[in-house]
Amino acid sequence: MVKIITGKKGSGKTKVLIDMINAASKNTDGYVVCIDKSDKLRYDIPHSVRIVDTDVSNVYSFEAFYGLIAGLVAGNYDIKEIFVDSILKIGGADFEALGALLAKVDKLTGDEVHVVLTVSADLPELPESVAKFAEK
């Protein structure tokens, strides 16, 4: 299941994401993974959460990001939660491509893995292919 948190830069998306990661680390019966373009969240989340730095992994497109998610899920069936900060910094600001990515990730993870991503844009700016994944 895929959900997005939307809002302009500085609107508090990362703080909401950190709170969700902290709660998941306490309540999830599997592994929690945090994906970011750096390791800046390292000190804000528990050490039990696996941090994946996309810069270190050379992930710079939505296609490469999908490969990363597919590899994580295929390599460890115990992953239950994946949190992604700043997906547009990873793959670019192509909202149609983002919508296609979200649909593929949603199909891949189904109800087994919850994926939450932050998107630096207000909900009305997003096409329906992206907006349908907004947290309600």
Give yes or no for residue 57 having a pLDDT over 80: yes
Is 30 contained in some domain?
yes
Least confident of 31-35, 39-43, 51-55, 81-85: 39-43
Q: Average pLDDT of 52-71?
A: 96
Residue 135 predicted with pLDDT over 80: no
For the cut 70, the answer to whether the pLDDT of residue 74 exceeds it is: yes
What's the whole-model pTM score?
0.95
CATH number where 21 lies: 3.40.50.300
Number of domains in the chain: 1
The residue-averaged pLDDT of 77-86 equals 97
- Residue-level pLDDT at 136: 63
Range of the structural domain that residue 56 is part of = 2-122
* Strands lying side by side in the sheet with 114-119: 2-6, 114-119, 79-84, 31-36, 50-53
